[in-house]
Amino acid sequence: MKTYSRLATPELTRQLIASGALGRHVQDDATAQSAPGVLISQEGTGVHESCVFDLDCGYGTGYMVSLHVAVDLPVLEIWEWRLNLPWEDPQFQWLSEPPRSGSANNIYEFPDHQTYPGDAVLNHRRVVHRGRSLDGFLLGFGFESIPDCFSHRQFIPASIVLIDGMRHQFPASVQLWVNRAATIDRKRTNKNTRRRLFENQSRVEDELVPK
């Protein structure tokens, strides 16, 4: 968690940019993404840091958004987060909070068993105090597949909305990288399996045919 002095939002934004706290790809939009006292920006420059991806379990989609949240308010209480996508996923949900049975179990897990340490996840971080910030990942999943019109390694526009305890909404635009590697690997495996099956069948038929 980073700490900043008490600043008005435009000055806070300028300091974050000058210190390198904002990635280059979000610097131009930083002020536009700021509401009074709140700054939300997409963090990181790696394609794997904010992405949508096919789950390895054979169905559904995983979502990962790397964010930086800074405030110049006495306190910001986060009620919930919303993710708006170019497609509908009515069963979308953020990953559940791990059981509070010890730090060793503080692990967030996707349905296909990919895991992330809890101290890197923002899903259940609920309070930000003045002059401080949150940095980490929002992690979620849904049962709808990524539409076929979105290809592997494509960037898609989306938005994140922070809703506070008074139901005020603070939106921010994000870009998500499409990772379809799991589906590509499944199709390649199925194709190879079918080919071997046909080859074996042909070999058996050849052996049964009288010479």
pLDDT tens digits in sequence order for the chain, 211 residues long: 444 333 334 444 455 445 544 444 444 443 335 567 899 999 875 667 899 999 988 789 999 999 999 999 999 999 999 999 999 999 999 999 998 765 567 899 999 999 999 999 999 999 999 988 999 999 999 999 999 999 999 999 999 999 999 999 999 999 999 999 988 877 676 555 455 555 555 554 555 556 5
Count other Cβ atoms within 10 Å, centred on residue 9. Answer: 19
- pLDDT recorded at residue 59: 85
- pLDDT recorded at residue 31: 37
- pLDDT recorded at residue 21: 42
Q: Is residue 37 within 8 Å of 69, Cβ to Cβ?
A: no
